[in-house]
Every structure is written in C-alpha cells, then in structure tokens.
Amino acid sequence: MTDPGKASGAAPAPSARVDGAAQQPADRAAGAPAADGASRSLPLPGPPYGSTTPEHDRRIRSYVLRQGRITNAQQRAHDALLPQFGVPYRAGLLDAHDVFGRTAPLIMEIGFGMGEGTAQIAQAHPENDYLGIEVHNPGVGSLLDRIGRLALTNVRIVQHDAVEVVRDMIAPDRLAGVHVFFPDPWHKKRHHKRRLLQAPFVSLLASRIAPGGYLHVATDWADYAQQVLAVLGAEPLLVNTVEQYAPRPAYRPLTRFEQRGVRLGHEVFDLVFRRRAAAA
C-alpha cells in the first residue's frame, strides 16, 4: 500500500539541500520554530502554488513546543546529522531529486514523533523516499539517530510546521503518499480547533498528492476518526479506498503512541484515501 514505484537506482546524495540553498541548521532557518516552550500560532497566508481559499488565512496551532528532555544520543545526532539529512524550511519548492540524489516515489510523513515507525518503513521500502516533518527537537534527534544507526539513505527531515512546509515547499501533484499517524488528538472540545486535519488543510494536502497517490491517517481517538472520515469524505480530490475504516496496512508498524492507546483500551482507526485524477 506504499505504492512502491520504480526508483532510478542512482545513489542518494550525501547531503540534503533545497533548490541549491545554502545548508543551515533548520532551527536557524527563516521562520523555524524555536524550542522555547511557547505555543505557536502560525500565520497561513494564501499558498503561492494554487489551492488558495480564504480559509488558508486561518491559523492552526496543532502543536505546543515544550523544551522537553533530549537525550545525549538525540542531541549528538541532531548536531551531527541534521546538516546532512535535514532540509531547511524555506518558501521555495523542494527539489526532491536534488535532495535525495535520485528520482523515486516521495512519501511525506507529518508529525513522525520519535521516528521509530518512519525508520522502520523507510528501511523496509528502500525503493521510496521519505520526507518526515516534525517540530519537536527530541523527536528529530531520535529519527536522525535511527537514520545514522540503520544507515538509511532514503529519509530527509524538515523541522518545521507541516502546514507551511506543505504550502510552500511541495508542488501540486507531487507526492506519492502522505502518512499522518496518530496526530495530536486535542481531545477537549474547546481544543478541537487545534486539530491538524481540518477541511482547509486537507484540501491543501490533497492538492499536493499525485493522482492515484494516497493519504493514510491513523488515530486511536474515535471522535477524531469520525471527524477525519467526514472531512476526507467531503474533499472532492479524495476518494475512500474502502467503505469507512481500512484494515491496518501491513507497512504501518505499531508506534509507542498506538501501544499506549491500545493499553488504554482505544480502538485504532486507519483511513486510507486516494487522490482522484481531477475534482468530481
């Protein structure tokens, strides 16, 4: 279900760059979030590449940046490997061929957490390239540590708000797939507005998926699953691959968030939608 396509077979580039931009740590890139414990409110001016609706002007505060504890290994990996595997955020389209050093199906993961699932999937599917988006320092350090230990060549990281990355760096019809596994549920009713998967962002995201590509969301919060089912179902560019919820695709490993949910007695819901060729 990862839609493995055919890779060019060319060797991956040793460093990750965007459209020839000078390499710099993501936390020093323009607009990059600082780990200062502040809750972030990101302005969403109209996207420069299509899908412009006034609703994109709304702000989604889907995450809170806490200082958090970073282990020595995560910090070491962050310092040593971000220059190689990090792609600084910038308001310019990502050149995936330049970044990965080859042409391969590009799958984006939003909010990879500690990256254990990302690393497992990337290792199991060397034919695909994976672009992980995450704001949290320990998580980015953790995935970089896994990339180093597993010698993965098909993963790159943008440490920045996913809404801005999708809007500014991803061209329309570009992605073979998108993974959003266990997005923050913001389960209190008054916080529902902070949920990432709402109609304006879903519409933007769908426009970045290639016709035939897929959007896979998993959550262990039943009411969020229902909301996502409704929002994805109402998006003209997307069509459900099944009646409602899909069986867990074999490529999706269990992550610690999922294990915690299962321990709490939560059911897990997978939603797998396809991008249509054109709006119905």
Ligand X SMILES: C[S@@+](CC[C@H](N)C(=O)[O-])C[C@H]1O[C@@H](n2cnc3c(N)ncnc32)[C@H](O)[C@@H]1O
Q: How far is the CB of 102 from ligand X (least distance, A)?
A: 25
The binder of ligand X chosen from 136, 146, 167, 274 (CB under 6 A): 136
Subset of residues 190 to 209 that bind ligand X, contact rule: CB under 6 A: 196
Can 184 be counted among the known catalytic residues? yes
182 binds ligand X (CB under 6 A): yes
100 binds ligand X (CB under 6 A): no
Number of residues that bind ligand X (CB under 6 A): 23
Of residues 145, 168, 184, 270, which has the active-site annotation?
Answer: 184
135 binds ligand X (CB under 6 A): yes
DSSP 100-158: HSS---EEEEE--TTSHHHHHHHHH-TTSEEEEE---HHHHHHHHHHHHHHT-SSEEEE
Q: What is the Cβ-side half-sphere exposure of residue 30, based on CA atoms within 13 angstroms?
A: 7
The binder of ligand X chosen from 112, 214, 224, 245 (CB under 6 A): 112
> Could you give the string, one character per residue 143-172, with x where binding to ligand X holds by CB under 6 A and - elsewhere?
------------------xxx---------
CA 39/CA 93 separation, integer angstroms:
27
Subset of residues 236 to 265 that bind ligand X, contact rule: CB under 6 A: 255-257
The binder of ligand X chosen from 129, 145, 168, 184 (CB under 6 A): 184
> Could you give the string, one character per residue 3-42, with x where binding to ligand X holds by CB under 6 A and - elsewhere?
----------------------------------------
Distance of alpha carbon 43 from the chain centroid? 19
CA 225/CA 201 separation, integer angstroms:
16
Q: List CB contacts of 1: < 8 A, sequence separation 6 or more.
A: 214, 216, 249, 250, 251, 272
* 3-class secondary structure, 242: coil
134 binds ligand X (CB under 6 A): yes
**Do 8 and 126 contact (CB within 8 A), yes or no?**
no
**End-to-end CA distance of the chain, in Å?**
24
Q: What is the Cβ-side half-sphere exposure of residue 151, based on CA atoms within 13 angstroms?
A: 0
- Give the strand pairing for 238-240 and 269-275: antiparallel
Q: How far is the CB of 110 from ligand X (least distance, A)?
A: 6
The binder of ligand X chosen from 12, 101, 177, 183 (CB under 6 A): 183
270 binds ligand X (CB under 6 A): no
Please name the residue ranges forming H helices in the chain.
Answer: 72-85, 96-100, 116-124, 137-150, 162-169, 199-208, 222-234, 256-263
The binder of ligand X chosen from 86, 139, 141, 213 (CB under 6 A): 139
Subset of residues 51 to 70 that bind ligand X, contact rule: CB under 6 A: 62-63
Known catalytic residues? 184
What are the residues binding ligand X (CB under 6 A)?
Answer: 62-63, 110-113, 117, 133-136, 139, 161-163, 181-184, 196, 255-257
